[in-house]
Structure 1
Amino acid sequence: MRPLTKILDPIKILGSKIPDVLFKGISTNSKNVNKGDLFIAIKGEKYDGHDYIKEAIDYGAVAIITNQYDIIKCSVPQIKVLNTRKALSIIASEYYGNPSKNLTVIGITGTNGKTTTASIIKSILEQANIKVAQFGTLGLIANEINHQATLTTPDALLLQKLFADLLKANFSHVVMEVSSHALDQSRVDNIDFDLAVFTNITPEHLDYHKSFKSYCLTKLKLFKMLKNNAISIINVSDPFGEKLLSILESSTIPFSNDKSNTIHFKSLNISINGISGVINTENFNYKIKSNLIGKFNSENILAAVGVSKALGLNQNSIETGIAKCAIIPGRMEVHHLKNQIKAIIDYAHTPDSYKKVMETLKKLQHNDGGDLYVVFGAGGDRDKEKRPKMAQIVEEYAKHIYITPDNPRFEKQSDINNQIISGFKADKFSIYKNREEGLETALKKAKRNDIVAILGKGRENYQDILGQKIPYSDLKVIRRFN
């Protein structure tokens, strides 16, 4: 049992003093409350925890953290705070003993490239015999601990628990993706970041952030919360990255494919077999050979080298770590099928990432003389303005396009399709009610040297339809064509 007075000490309480109550655990979901728990009411996009306070008490909650006064009349103390999300972040960190203070934490933010950059960094650290865990859209990747991801960045309570578990299992480093939602919702407020990486920024999640300016300011929060001795690794090829570099007070390491006074590729070769070249960092050269493809992945490699430099890792660990980071699930993942057809699975789901993938594949396709077929859709209940933009980009490069469902959620698939096809000028697309059928049709149509790009879902193993996660995998479909 823990005294409530101690755990709430860092939080500004509105109204009466903190009650002298002992509690066992913490919950933000009324259905998961156990007898003796502290219940924190969080207002979400679909549900408001304040509506479930009575249920939490019925399940045994001994105290309630709320941002409203006297929601219900009861004998259980209701403690009012300005912001229950911020309170949760503080309480979770205190409850688990502020575990991030005893870990080296590397946070990566940006619109695209977070997962790939995190994976490369993890591979390099492992070559340096460092015990490292990775958080992100692929879940928690750590040898002794398993956790399936539902969010790029977990909520504050789960995040602090996982940090504590990693510390107990003798992990010393964590590399984690930090989403704009996590920053806006205070999920990472009480994490002690040692390094922060900025990959790039283009319009995304505008359904949530309402404007690109707001989205940029949210990303900035990661760098504003850094401690004095933290280091920021910044992509200055991006205009926002240049701005970051000029305003940050913490130490910075810039990287860019366009500027020779930063970490950059002195020579660079990109093919279907990967990336090779020489990276220069302040007159020191690293020979790079990677199975990753695309110019955008060369920037992710530069970011990882920047982190390695900040951590003082040796040349062999860096070069070997990059070489051994062979396949990142759902990120430009190349599969060589029968009849010399290439299927490429990629998580791309923004106009910018579509453009980068299409440009890369067009170059590769030009070298082999084949055609490019694209299978894609758009997630429901998300930014609708990007749908016709993605269609325009795909149409510019593809011989034929297969429109399929991609996590429609609670939105009508026909509405999603109509917004996609509004971006087309030519009639070179087909619409499929079933993603599996659309993908199979594309793979059957493809011939020698053709490329089939399957965009949007990456390695997800479900379709999110009307609140249910229906089993489905792009990878399983293409494996039938091996």
Structure 2
Amino acid sequence: MTLSQLLSPLADCELHGQGVPEISGVTCDSRGVAPGSLFFALRGTSFDGHNYVAAAVEAGAAAVVLEDPSFAPATIPWVRVPDGRAAMAAISAEFYGNPTAGLPLVGITGTNGKTTTTYLLEGILTAAGLPPAVLGTISYRFGDTSIEASHTTPESTELQAAFRTLDNAGARAFVMEVSSHALEQKRVDGCHFDVGVFTNLTRDHLDYHKTMESYLDSKLRLFRELLRTAPVKPQRRAAVNMDDEYGARVAAAAVCPVITYGVDFAGDVRAANVTSSVSGISGTLVTPAGEIPFESRLLGKFNLSNILAAAAAGIALDLPLEAIKTGIEQHATVPGRMERVDNSHGVTLLVDYAHTGDALENVLSTLQELKTGRIITVFGCGGDRDPGKRPIMGSIAARMSDIAIVTSDNPRTEDPFAILDQVRAGIVPLRLCEFSPDQIDAGGVEKGFTMLENRREAIRLAVRLARPGDIVLLAGKGHEDYQIIGRTKHHFDDREEARQAFAELLP
């Protein structure tokens, strides 16, 4: 496409320089510039892309989009825009042919539940004859096509390229997790949403957003800006969890019709006659389109909320109730979300991504309802992230487990022992006994906690302690197959470590 064609969606831009260059690619990374590329100079928190304009020109860029004209190149055309990120989103969508304009797109945002809800909705859409591509924390995938997820929601240049690839692979709908960072940084502004889903809002990412109000404002962009009625998508809708304390504010901010849902709230979509056990959840879905019984192998109240979120999105898309039922019932598990690690020792070992206080409390509440023995929890808190949640998570884990083993998550550039001390600060007021790892390992401890920085050894300790009937929860990393120490990513998978730990036990 020519540069002038790509600029057509922009309402406010200034084109300078001679010629109408053909554009062969779009990027905001000067290292990714190839001859014919359009380079976007963006201001970031750590780097300013304007400083890389010269490098982009040297690499063969055909044109540059920037905010500060003092960095304008002298030898190639350049475009001045008031908002580089908004311009990049619009131009990237145009470059890749607006792949979300012609297919249904559901965006799911919230602190917890996004990934499980995408998997459920994937099953529902498939049952309805609209097999979707899913873009989320774990991967961007459709059929045999899989693109590794660099972020929950990537930069708009990567995102629109992924949409085009997945569309070409045969996807008939899109389901995506929409992070607060992506909304704040306008990575999804070129997307044409049909439905926006709000799952919940609890403390997370305050290292970036600073306050819960700022965090909420980022989420609200999806509902008050990106779901506005437009000719390309004239019947947009929102699905909002009214059990959450912020649900009413999200519903009030939405610029489109809202479908409410809730486990406790009597919303448009709800569940009746619910029973829950170690085998899963069953009940009756009550919706504006009618009622239908369902069974699910997922566990816990928080997963019932995820089921209702997916069902509400299905109703928002006018999908048949039978397809909603089928999608829910065929869904078995999500990688790293209450994922079982099978063993021959009579122990229920679960790996879960819970890395916020709310998520950890939800998981442990479910396990308390289902337990027949003790709950042994292994967890840690990531470095270079919000330190305020560390004592909160420590208190929850120690209070709701029989034995809590505090260990490292991804310490990154922080001192892992300093992180452990901050977690301990939340446990001390509970007046629980702290034991050394050796004391715990010797047996006889039924209630208390210990600190063991090495995550591999912490997992092995938990497995050695577990008796038939006990539940072991490995929380925080879930599907991740790495551990970041310093700035280096090392291979590490809780599921692999647990299997190895069981293999080391005496028969």
TM-score (norm 1): 0.95
Which residue of structure 1 aligns with residue 330 of structure 2? 324
What per-residue deviation string (whole Å, max 9, x for no partner) do you get for residues 301-353 of structure 1?
Answer: 11111122222323332222111110111111123422210111111111111
1:8 corresponds to which residue? Answer: 7
Amino acid at match of 1:421: R
Question: 2:274 touches 2:283 (CA, 8 Å); kept in 1?
Answer: yes
Partner residue in 2 for 1:170: 170
Alpha carbons of structure 1 residues 277 and 49: separation in structure 2 relative to 1, 3 Å: same
Hey, what's the Cα distance between the residues in 2 that align with 1:111 and 1:160? 24
Partner of 2:440: none
Aligned to 1:438, the other structure's residue is in SS state helix
Match of 2:407 in 1: 404
Stretch deviating more after TM superposition (429-438 or 174-183): 429-438
Q: Give the match for residue 227 of structure 1.
A: 228
Q: 1:194 to 1:436 in 2, by over 3 A?
A: same
Q: Higher mean Cα deviation, 287-296 or 329-338?
A: 329-338
3-state SS in 2 of match to 1:100? coil
The reply to whether residue 388 of structure 1 matches residue 391 of structure 2 is: yes
Residues 340-381 of structure 1: CA deviation (Å, up to 9, x unaligned): 10111111111111111111111111xx1x111111111111
**3-state SS of 2:246 partner:** helix
Verify the 8 A CA contact 2:105 2:173 in the aligned structure 1.
Answer: yes
Residue in structure 2 matching 1:305, options 305, 311, 329? 311
Judged with a 3 Å threshold, the aligned counterparts in structure 2 of structure 1 residues 164 and 261 are, in CA distance, closer, same or farther, namely closer
Is the CA contact (8 Å cut-off) linking 1:12 and 1:81 kept in structure 2?
no
More off after superposition, 460-469 vs 46-55? 46-55
The 10-residue stretch of structure 1 (66-75 or 236-245) with the greater mean CA deviation from structure 2: 66-75
Measured in 1, the distance between the counterparts of 2:381 and 2:424 equals 11
Query: Would you say the 8 A contact 1:13–1:79 is kept in 2?
Result: no
Per-residue deviation, 1:191: 0.6
For residues 87 and 275 of structure 1, what CA distance do their matches in structure 2 show? 46
Distance 1:283 1:182 in 2: 33
Equivalent of 1:441, from 454, 461, 468? 461
**Partners of 1:165 and 1:41 in 2: CA distance:** 25
CA distance in 2, matches of 1:470, 1:439: 17
Q: 1:73 to 1:133 in 2, by over 3 A?
A: closer
Taking the aligned partners of 2:111 and 2:50, their CA distance within structure 1 comes to: 32
Matching residue within 498, 501, 506 for 1:478: 498
- Give the total of aligned pairs: 478
| Correspondence list, 1:77-88, <5 A | 77-88=77-88
Superposed CA deviations along residues 102-137 of structure 1, whole A, max 9, x for unmatched, are: 110001111111111111010111122322111111
CA-CA distance at 1:4 after TM superposition? 1.4
Q: Which amino acid aligns with 1:151?
A: H
Q: Which runs of 5+ in 1 are unaligned?
A: none
SS of the residue 2:100 aligns to: helix
The 1:467/1:44 distance shift into structure 2, 3 A limit, reads: farther
Cα separation, 1, equivalents of 2:362 and 2:15: 56
After TM superposition, list the pairs within 5 Å mapping 1:238-387 onto structure 2. 238-282=244-288, 284-365=290-371, 368=372, 370-387=373-390
- Write the deviation string for residues 155-187 of structure 1: whole angstroms up to 9, x where unpaired: 101111111122222321011111100000000
Question: Distance in 2 between the 1:473 and 1:438 partners?
Answer: 13
Mark the CA change 1:29 to 1:439 in structure 2 (over 3 Å): closer, same or farther.
Answer: same
Q: Which residue type is aligned with residue 438 of structure 1?
A: A
Distance 1:296 1:49 in 2: 42
Aligned residue runs from structure 1 range 114-133, under 5 A: 114-133=114-133
Q: Percent identity?
A: 37
The verdict on how the C-alpha distance between 1:109 and 1:316 changes in structure 2, with shifts beyond 3 A counting, is same
Q: CA deviation at 1:72?
A: 6.8
**Equivalent residue, structure 2, for 1:460:** 480
Find the residue that maps to 2:341 and give its secondary structure: strand
User: Which residue does 2:437 correspond to in 1?
Assistant: none
Which amino acid in 2 is paired with 1:277? G
- Structure 1 residues 99 and 298: CA distance shift in structure 2, 3 A: same
- Give the deviation of 1:74 after TM superposition: 4.1
Alignment of 1:24-103 (within 5 A): 24-71=24-71, 74-103=74-103
Q: Give per-residue Cα distances to partners, 1:366-416, cap 9 Å, x unaligned.
A: xx1x11111111111111100100001011012222222211222221222
Instruction: Find the aligned partners of 2:144 and 2:57 in 1 and give their Cα distance.
Output: 35
Deviates more, 1:436-445 or 1:305-314: 305-314
Residues 193, 227 of structure 1: 8 Å contact kept: no
- Cα offset, 1:465, TM superposition: 2.3
Matched, 1:202 2:188: no
| Alignment partner, residue 183 of structure 2 | 183
Pair 1:104-2:104 in alignment: yes
- Once residues 154 and 248 of structure 1 are traced to their aligned partners in structure 2, the CA distance between those partners, rounded to angstroms, is 24
Q: Quick check: 146-155 or 14-23, which moved more? A: 14-23
On the 8 A contact 1:70/1:78 being kept in 2, the answer is: no
List gaps (5 residues or longer) in structure 2.
230-234, 435-447
Q: 1:19 to 1:474 in 2, by over 3 A?
A: farther
CA contact (8 A) 1:42 1:49 kept: yes
Is the partner of 2:286 in helix, strand or coil? strand
Query: What's the secondary structure of 1:38's corresponding residue?
Result: strand
1: CA distance between counterparts of 2:368 and 2:392? 18
Q: CA distance change for structure 1 residues 198 and 72 in 2, over 3 Å: closer, same or farther?
A: closer
